[in-house]
Amino acid sequence: MPSDLGLLTLASVLRRGRQLDHLSSSITIIALAWGLLQWPMGFGTRVGSALATLLVLVGVLQKIWAMRVALDADLFDALGRGDADGDASDPRSGAERRGDGASGDGACGDGASGDAASGDGDLEKTRQASASSLSARLATRLAAMDAMLVGTGLMPARLAGRPLAPRTHGALRLLVVQAAIVGFQVALTLSSLLAMPWLFPAY
pLDDT in tens, 43-57: 556 777 888 889 999
Q: Which of 10-19, 25-34, 158-167 has the lowest mean pLDDT?
A: 158-167
The amino acid at residue 67 is M
pLDDT in tens, 84-98: 444 444 444 444 444
- For 92-114, b where at least 16 C-beta lie within 10 A, e where not — what string? eeeeeebeeeeeeeeeeeeeeee
Q: How far apart are CA 182 and CA 104, in angstroms?
A: 62
Q: How far apart are CA 188 and CA 192, in angstroms?
A: 6
pLDDT over 80 at 34, yes or no: yes
Average pLDDT, the chain: 75
pLDDT in tens, 115-157: 544 555 556 555 555 556 557 777 788 888 888 888 888 888 8
Helices (H) and strands (E) in the chain — how many of each?
7, 0
What pLDDT score was predicted for residue 197?
66
Instruction: Give me the residue spans of the domains in the chain.
Output: 3-90+163-198
The amino acid at residue 43 is F
pLDDT in tens, 176-202: 999 999 999 999 999 888 877 665 555
What pLDDT score was predicted for residue 163?
84
Q: How far apart are CA 166 and CA 191, in angstroms?
A: 37
Establish how many alpha carbons lie within 13 A of residue 134's alpha carbon, considering only the half-sphere containing its beta carbon: 20
